[in-house]
Amino acid sequence: MSVFTARRDFAACCIFSVLLASVQAQHHLLEPLLEKARGRFPETAGSGLCAAQGGREPNVFLTRTQQQDSGFTPLEFAVVESVLFNHPLARVFVFLLGSIDESVFDRYLVEGYCIIVVQLHAAWIQTAIQSVEHELTNDQFALMSADPRAVPFLMNCALASLQFVYGGISLSFDGLLLNPFDMLLPAALPLHRTAVFIERVLAPEEQAPKEALQREDFELSWMPRSHTDRADGHTLICGDNLCPRAMPAGCPLARQLLRAWLEAFLMTGSSPRCDLEATRLYSAYVRNRPQSQTRLEDGQFAVVALPGWVIVEPHFPDGWRHYGHRGQIEESEDRGQFHSQLYTPRVHRERSDWSLVRSLKLWLPLDYGPQSARNAMPRSVVDLAQRFLALRITPFSPGPLRFGTIEPTLTSHTWHTPVDAYEALDNSMAESLGVGARPKLSREVALPGTTGGFRTFRDIRVVGRGACAVPGFVVRVRAAISLSHPGARLFCRPAIRPDGPLDGAPDSEVAWNACRAALTETGFDLTGLPSLVNSALSHLGFWPVRGPGHPPAQSSADGRLSAAELDMHFADLHLELTTDACPDAGEAIGVPKASNIVRSTLHALVDDVQDQVTVVAHSASRCELLERLALSFHSMYDRMLVMVTCECPEPGPEGERCSPPEARDHPTIAFMKIVDVPYDFGLSRGKRLLAQWAQTEFVLVLDDDFVRSPLSCMECMLLHMRSRMHSLTLPFDLLGFPILEDERNFGAFRGQLRATNGPLYLEPMASEAAVDGCMRVGIHPMAFLARTARLRQFKFQDQLPVGEHEQFFYANRYLGLHAAVCFDSTFPHFRVQMSAGYKQRRERMQELATDAFKKIGFQGMMYLLHKCDAYSGIDHNEFIQQNIPPWSISDDTCGPQPEPPTDFVMFFVAIFSKMDDRGALFRRMLRGEAPLAWLPRLAAAAPTRWAFFVEEQSITPPALVEEEAQHGDVVLMPQQGETKGGFTASQLKFAVTFLRDFHFRWLLVAEQDVFVHLEPVLSVLVAQEPPMRSAVGGWRTKAGMASLQSPWLPPQFFALSHDTKHLLASPRVARWLRTDLENGDAAAALNAWLALLDVQRLELQGVHLGWGGAAVGCPGKSSSVPQSMVLPPLAVLHPVAPGELLLMSEAAAVHGSGCEGLNA
């Protein structure tokens, strides 16, 4: 019976077995392509380039569904490099519609990276699917392929076929891979034997199908999590080709999915919802797998579903908006924040956002919002991901908009280290003003142990490319690494993921063997292609040094460490990179030549967290959770002491043994002590007691329902406590972390405390944000790493059953409490359903909280989990409804302003340009191909930056994408349709608000086809010193109401002083700017905006608009005809053709008159 006429359910078998015979017979689709790639560069034959299947190096299938024949865009190169950055030895197959020159990836093949281009067509897709499903007939495939809307579906089926035959990871070109794909897998599940999917949570308004995952599907899975961190009955497994997924070779689930999808199409005649079948099969798997199984046996596969939050959300869940905007009402005009917060850096959150995304996320989508909302600003998440997940082999320089500055591409190999991100996030003005060098930044970035090895060496890479073009010459690099501390030895981790076992089979045999072979008595020394070196680096780590640190002091003396004492906890990690020099012309290959050497030194923490941290927690009525907490930590740190307090039942015969508190060893869990305390002992007393009994320098204070996970990094937290950046003068006493589950549900509980004559306010402000992502706060959740000696000194209100959290942070200001939050680590808050006893205790909280706050002198507590704006009508109304005086809410108007995206300049020029060929010609001329044009001459005369504002289209031409990547000065603005002039009022408002945070003296606005004689313009601008409250242009009079004459500024060319621009762009004014006057006319809007302002209207003489071309003659004065004094010298002329712009610019520069060019 045909598979397509009878439904089969193979998921009853809970553990899948390998179908080796079936798989081995079908290895014919990709092998010819691998062989072809190896043949292109035979000189790399011995390096394992594009090696045959079977080495456990992952296959990565990248699909591009948009058909285009113009090559690869810079962003697509960035996607490829993000994959190879995390998986250097991956075989990357690029599937695309349309033709492409395969040589675009030759520079990668020379470096040892395997990239294969597969040009998709119907016959290839049919072959791929039928290689697995032999019963699919040609007529059935023809029926499916006849529907153009079925192309994505058929590509998805082809991917499932390839994953069944070869195994691999499927990704799209709509995102960047932020970490190794198996980063979150448990220790028992290697990627080559685990199918990995991502959950898709339905929107609240979506009707949930019957296949949606239920409670038992989450709780019976390999990776259970809290009921507050999932959507029972409203979650599907994402099965379409745009969702990242991985399936190992021979895993029957891939075949089952393929059969189910094809059968559903043939039964309905249209593309089915791939999510439903994927969800059904996954649910059947988890409900039937043995729950006692903790590891896979030989020949078995596992299936896991990662939570949807591993994909970066368009908006950060903490709700932070610097300008107080929130929701569609007040934010829709701020495109950089409304559609997503990934392309524009969040004010004072740039460093923490990057730290969180890089450390705790897996996939960064690049398709949030329209093109005009995707202008990657410097220090935005998208910018930093492109820059710091790049191998820098692409011909395009990775990075954001540069507004006229060009970052050179690398033509040699160099080191990429975690310090690179620090330098990018330090926005120093010293370099831009030419008054000194960039200050030296902390190099304390390397971490010990297994988790520390993952966090450190995932960011140490050999980047760049060899510049040698001699045929037959293979550029190899030598990486040598050593540690200055004799006790800190390098070792190789079999798995690159943080929770990988140290005694298991390696993730990559090639990389693992190369890493072990490179280990020496003094460190690490490996020579090979950059791909091999980087893959071996991914497996590196170094052992910590045993030692107790500094036991907690018993007195209240200053416990700060000196610089010398801090240095004792670090060693120098020396990196040396040697690249063979290219032989001269005619010189034999292999003749020794001087090599290029690049050295870098990082500072490595050598402390063993197990010797210096005790995990402490208090529990009441649910002490059974404490064992789960201890076991989660001991899965990584087998010697770490876990000490907990457990409240006894209500007073009675059994409770008498709990007074006084006594400590006892856990009967079955080593390194776990339990302190039995009386009923209603309280959190504060429990934590104070544990701090008194702890003997380590630090304690990790958690609630009983926390656990450790692969996203937890205790080494990171200890580094921040030891770093001289924070600890030399004002050390952190408490170091918090983002509790992701709570932030998604309730918002971020961190910020500053402020007292009034009424409530105590928690406001989401932060200060002293550092380049490592840490920020000082006044309060954070009561889960933190603390210095034991300092925690003992702080006062707890033992009599408060609740409310002690707020009181603790507020009252201990008197004792100099310094708290901070760092974002590179988290511990899951694994909440459980409340038991009857615990629920009864929780029901008392509201009554207890009211009394508690009165005891500490406040009417109550108000949590402002987003920044409120005193000028926001929404916030104002909300305060009044809650009986809160609006004037008592701080909106931080006197706080620090956003850092500018670029350096400070004298002039910033905004040019409105078109997307056509004529616009491209004007842009080339203004960038410098016509060196005597007004913009290049202005840039040569004074520090100048510029941006070309181009209207977005539904599909951005690849030529424009490449142009933006090359020059970094094209900003896409919203599409407005036909316009009377060069731009509309809405587009002018977009440009002004886009430049809100830029710093300069003058803003010049021009259309692309404007001729500007620079000298008359500069004479007017320079005369205004300092430039303030000024608008310069061809002011003229225009009839107003009641026959009045009002000044009128043409928008084709004008200049605004910085303060005028800043006022118009400020969020409290920009939201009120009208753009609907005279059907959206830019001139009407501009003059309406300025009409209400008391600004100097400085007239620029010689501005001529509506010019008819050379045939009507030049309207300005000619130097050869001195008697023509009727008109002032020509300063601005619009419109001009490209040829006219060139001739007039040359004449203005040489003869002092643009008209001379036309007369000639």
Beta strands, E only, 778-851: 784-787, 819-821
Residue type, 1040: G
Residue type, 641: L
> What is this structure's pTM?
0.89
Residue 891: other Cβ atoms inside 10 A: 18
- Residue 5 scores a pLDDT above 80: no
* Range in 246-260, 425-439, 586-600, 773-787 with the lowest mean pLDDT: 425-439
Q: Are 168 and 247 in contact (CB under 8 A)?
A: yes
How far apart are the C-alpha atoms of 877 and 884, rounded to whole Å?
10
How far apart are the C-alpha atoms of 883 and 879, rounded to whole Å?
6
Give the Å distances, CA to CA, from 475 to 70, 365, 530, 583.
30, 34, 9, 11
pLDDT of residue 558: 67
pLDDT of residue 606: 96
Across 116-126, b (16+ Cβ under 10 Å) vs e yields: bbbebeeeebb
Prior bond to 224 cis, omega within 30? no
End-to-end CA distance of the chain: 86
- Convert the pLDDT of each residue in 292-342 to its tens digit: 888 888 888 999 999 999 999 999 988 777 765 555 455 566 677 788 899
Residues forming a β-bridge with 614: 699
Element (H, E) at 126: helix 122-130
Q: At what angle do helices 985-994 and 1082-1091 cross, to 10 degrees?
A: 60
Closest residue by Cα to residue 534 from 518, 508, 511, 506: 511
Q: Order of strands, edge to edge, in the sheet holding 970-973?
A: 970-973, 944-951, 905-913, 1000-1007, 1053-1057, 1030-1033, 1096-1099
**Length of the chain as a residue count:** 1160
pLDDT of residue 18: 35
pLDDT of residue 339: 86
CA dihedral 747, 753, 755, 756 (to 10 degrees): -40
pLDDT of residue 596: 84
How far apart are the C-alpha atoms of 308 and 779, rounded to whole Å?
29
| Per-residue tokens: 681 | 């002992």
Where does residue 334 fall: left (phi above 0), alpha (psi -120 to 50 degrees), or beta otherwise?
A: beta
pLDDT band at 1 (very low <50, low <70, confident <90, very high): very low
How far apart are the C-alpha atoms of 1056 and 1066, rounded to whole Å?
15
Q: Are 211 and 254 in contact (CB under 8 A)?
A: no
* Range in 336-350, 387-401, 587-601, 758-772 with the lowest mean pLDDT: 587-601
- Residue 1042 scores a pLDDT above 60: no
How far apart are the C-alpha atoms of 392 and 413, rounded to whole Å?
9
pLDDT of residue 754: 82
- Convert the pLDDT of each residue in 504-561 to its tens digit: 788 888 999 999 999 999 899 999 999 999 999 999 999 999 987 888 865 446 678 8
How far apart are the C-alpha atoms of 866 and 878, rounded to whole Å?
13
Residue with tokens 């070792």: 491
Q: Enumerate residues 6+ apart whose C-beta is below 8 A from 131.
A: 26, 28, 29, 161, 165
pLDDT band at 978 (very low <50, low <70, confident <90, very high): low
- Residue 601 scores a pLDDT above 90: yes
CA atoms 789, 792, 795, 800: torsion sign? positive
How far apart are the C-alpha atoms of 208 and 211, rounded to whole Å?
8
What mean pLDDT comes out for the span 66-90? 87
* Range in 264-268, 290-294, 723-727, 789-793 with the lowest mean pLDDT: 290-294
Q: Are 767 and 775 in contact (CB under 8 A)?
A: yes
Higher pLDDT, 119 or 224: 224
| Per-residue tokens: 1003 | 């803003």
Q: What is the residue-averaged pLDDT of the chain?
A: 85
Residues forming a β-bridge with 1036: 1048
Residue 93: other Cβ atoms inside 10 A: 24
Beta strands, E only, 648-723: 662-665, 672-677, 698-703
Residues forming a β-bridge with 177: 363
Closest residue by Cα to residue 424 from 461, 462, 380: 380
Q: Largest Cα–Cα distance of the chain, in whole Å? A: 116
- Within a 13 Å sphere around the CA of 923, how many CA atoms are in the beta-carbon half? 28
Question: Is residue 950 exposed (0-12), middle (13-18) or buried (19+ Cβ within 10 Å)?
Answer: buried
H-state helical runs in 13-116: 20-24, 31-40, 74-86, 106-110
